[in-house]
Amino acid sequence: MTSIADQFDGFKALFTGETYECKLDAKSLKKAKDELNEDPREREAALKQFRQWVKEQPHYTCCLDSTFLLMFLRRCKFSQLEARKMLDHYITMSVKMVPEWMLKNDILDPRAKAAFLTGFCVPLPQRDDQGRRLLLMKPGVLNPEKNEYDGTDVYRAIGAMFMVLQREDMTQVNGYVFFQDYTGMSPKHITFFGIENMKKSTKFWQDNFPARFKEMHYYNTGAVFEAIMQLIKPFLSKKIQDRIKVYGNNMEDVYKNIPMKCLPSDYLPDDYKGSNTYSMMEIVESFYKKMSELEISKRIKYCSTELMGLDESKRPSNKDEPQASFRKLNID
């Protein structure tokens, strides 16, 4: 029987290095070609070209794994130039804007562990019919008055989680769907996260992170949700705003857009007869147990420490940078 953690192949992909074995199903391969300009015959050459450029950058310390570099190529529809720009933004912002979230990430740290095990952010093992990875976020479970963790620890735990999920082929191509449950949210949670951190988080994840955020579903919203949206809406692109769906407290409305088979048992009706029997906390604990295995936790820390650096004094001037405006390599 497949365990919960085994349904997240990003754990294995952390160790594949510069080798690459495609894990896309036929439907996702077609989507990659139609939407992302990805041609399996040219993929390896595009990776080689991108990797060589990264190696030539004197100011970067950067991971060269194929599954890491593909995040940027796919997010940028295999434009070498756009992938270079996004990688530059990602490294620069990680180091300069959110180093406390993205650098030296030790998921074994007691505060990061405590934050993750609250169940604030739960990666769900079952993909939807479009192959997308679902994330259940429930900020109301966080206790703003506890000293076991703070907002920074929460963002750090999310950063570690994304290091795993972002290595998945299916997730890179099909993207994410967020289901955010605002039950239990209070004004204290806004103070807990901090207004500036909320703005910074929105800017970083939307503009500088190589992922496809396809839909955002907000459930059981109220005054706190409205206050948060007033804060972050000016920073949201129109594309993201158009992907937001807001619900009351009726899960029947949610089921119309998010299949019941994808949700944990906490969100299913008592008479549900489907195969999903995992509770939210079972998923959280299983994912953390896998992530905290010595080899995996060391790899996450290594990638966010030894393979994530920036020395601005060595950054080449614009005139020294090679031009690469082509979409992708053309090989017979």
Does 328 map to a domain? no
Q: Does any domain span residue 122?
A: yes
Task: Assess if residue 211 is contained within a domain.
Answer: yes
Query: What is the domain extent for residue 287?
Result: 108-295
Examine the domain organization and report whether 122 and 156 are in the same domain: yes
Enumerate the H helices of the chain as residue ranges: 10-13, 26-36, 40-55, 66-75, 80-96, 99-102, 110-116, 151-165, 169-174, 187-193, 195-207, 223-232, 238-242, 251-255, 280-291, 294-303
Q: Would residue 278 count as lying in a domain? A: yes
Q: Report residue 48's pLDDT band, with 50, 70 and 90 as the boundaries.
A: very high
pLDDT digits (tens, 9 = 90+) for 56-104: 999 999 999 999 999 999 999 999 999 999 999 999 999 999 999 999 9
Could you tell me if 235 and 88 lie in one domain?
no
| 273 vs 109 pLDDT, higher one | 109
Q: What type of residue is 274? A: G
Query: What was the pLDDT predicted at 112?
Result: 96
Does 291 fall in a domain?
yes
Residue 130, Ramachandran bin (φ over 0: left; ψ between -120 and 50: alpha; else beta): alpha
Model confidence at 2: pLDDT above 80: no
Q: Looking at the predicted structure, is the pLDDT value of residue 221 above 60? A: yes
Q: How many angstroms separate the CA atoms of 124 and 211, rounded?
A: 17
Q: Is residue 329 part of a domain?
A: no
- DSSP label at 332? -
Q: How far apart are CA 43 and CA 49, in angstroms?
A: 10
* CATH code, 315: 1.10.8
Residues 286 and 313 in one domain: no
Half-sphere exposure of 166 (CA within 13 A, CB side): 23
What is the count of structural domains for the chain?
2
Percent of the chain with pLDDT over 70: 95
**CA 71 from centre of chain:** 10
For 144-204, give the DSSP string.
Answer: TT-SS--HHHHHHHHHHHHHHHTT-HHHHHH-EEEEEE-TT--HHHHHHH-HHHHHHHHHH
Strand partners, 216: 178, 244
Residues 223 and 192 in one domain: yes
Same domain, 115 and 69: no
Q: What is the pLDDT of residues 247-301, one digit of tens each?
A: 999 999 999 999 999 999 999 998 888 876 799 999 999 999 999 999 999 999 9
Residues 210 and 252 in one domain: yes
Does 157 share its domain with 185? yes
Distance CA 223, CA 114 (A): 28
248 shares a domain with 119: yes
Using alpha carbons, list the distances in angstroms from residue 296 to 17, 46, 157, 202. Answer: 14, 28, 14, 28
Tell me, yes or no, whether 280 and 308 share the same domain. Answer: no
Q: Which residues contact 171 (CB under 8 A, 6 or more apart)?
A: 10, 132, 133, 165, 211
Q: Quote the CA–CA distance of 47 and 117 in Å, as a whole number.
A: 36
Tally of CB atoms within 10 A around 25: 14
Residues 36 and 63 in one domain: yes
What pLDDT was estimated at residue 13? Answer: 98
Are 242 and 132 in the same domain? Answer: yes
pLDDT of residue 1: 57
Each residue's pLDDT tens digit, 171-207: 999 999 999 999 999 999 999 999 899 999 998 998 8
The confidence score (pLDDT) of residue 325 equals: 43
Phi, psi at residue 308, to the nearest 5°? -145, 95
Question: How far is C-alpha 198 from the geometric centre of its chain's CA atoms?
Answer: 16
Residue 324: its pLDDT value, please? 47
Distance, in Å, from the CA atom of 117 to the CA atom of 133, rounded to the nearest integer, reads 20
What average pLDDT is seen over the chain? 93
State the Cα–Cα distance between residues 45 and 328, nearest whole angstrom. 9
Is 127's pLDDT higher than 80? yes
Q: How many CB atoms lie within 10 A of CB 115?
A: 25
In a domain, residue 172? The reply is yes
- The answer to whether position 326 is within a domain reads no
Q: Domain of 138: which CATH number? A: 3.40.525.10
**Statement to judge: residues 93 and 138 lie in one domain:** no
Q: Please determine, for residue 109, whether its predicted confidence score (pLDDT) is greater than 80.
A: yes
